[in-house]
Chain A
Amino acid sequence: MSSRLVRASWRPRPAATAISAVVDDEVVVYCERSSRMHCLDRYGSILWALCDGSRTVAQVAAETVELSGGLPEEVRADVDATLRRLYELDILR
């Protein structure tokens, strides 16, 4: 799983069992599988919006670099860590 998450060609998308809603530009995700609610912060919400299955992890990271103005290496590490976490929560596939 971890190797897949850091693979640049992976196209992350919401799990079929993840229902999301947006309030004030932040996202709340309900996982039907675990029956748990997850509140994403502003950064996580931006990533969630980018993870619609159309972009690779590398493209998500590149867009995040543009949005944040951060250093590419650091942003990529943050993106990997966040996507891994969302995957482990069963809300990203």
Chain B
Amino acid sequence: MPFSMPVVWQVKAGAWCWQDPSGAGKSTLVAALVRHGLPYLSDELVGVAVADGSLCPHPVPIGLRPGAQKLLAPVPPGPFDLEGRRSIRSVELGGSTCGCVRAGAIVILAPRRGREPKLSPLRPTIALAEMASHALNLGQQPEVVLGALARLAATTPAWRLVAGGIDSTCQALRAVLEPR
């Protein structure tokens, strides 16, 4: 398990999602998906097994900003940090965690939002470049990281998501990620 990736959640077949800058809405979406009943993997990092590309969970509490708490109301009462963030465990949102899973989809969250959610197919090379640029130890083990992520990108459908409203975005993601 030589490297880690920022990620998010998992559905029945295994899926993941991560995104770029802080404040783009990743944690809000993660919390909403957990509320929609999807098992929780991580809001920060996930281990990627080089041997088979499976993802190992790191289910840290989800840190929600005040704006996100309004979107997800009611948020359970609890301690807040100095910036008003509330760290919530997935069980407080009614969710569950899981063990290592196979990725079912790669979803890149676009930094901008739209009126309606929009999912567009992403070329595997773009997905690979996006994943690799977020890998924590690409600089230490570039060949290992790039090789493993290339296998993952070659075998996993990838999407670019422009998020819309929180509920409609969750529904759009579930439609793509859950087995038909």
Give B contacts to A, CB under 8 Å: 123-126, 128-129, 132-133, 138-139, 142-143, 146-147, 149-150, 153-154
- Residues of A within 8 Å of B, CB-based: how many? 16
| Inter-chain contact B138/A27, CB cutoff 8 Å | no
Does A26 have its Cβ within 8 Å of any Cβ on chain B? yes
| Inter-chain contact B125/A24, CB cutoff 8 Å | yes
Does A49 have its Cβ within 8 Å of any Cβ on chain B? no
Give A contacts to B, CB under 8 Å: 19-24, 26-28, 30, 32, 35, 37-40
Contact of A26 (CB < 8 Å), options: B124, B132, B143: B124
A67 CB, nearest partner CB in chain B, Å: 20
A57 CB, nearest partner CB in chain B, Å: 25
Chain A residues positioned under 8 Å from B128 (CB to CB): 21, 23, 28, 39
Q: Please name the residue on chain A nearest to B147 by beta carbon.
A: A21
Q: List 7 A-B contacts (CB under 8 A).
A: A21-B146, A21-B150, A22-B150, A28-B146, A30-B146, A32-B139, A39-B126
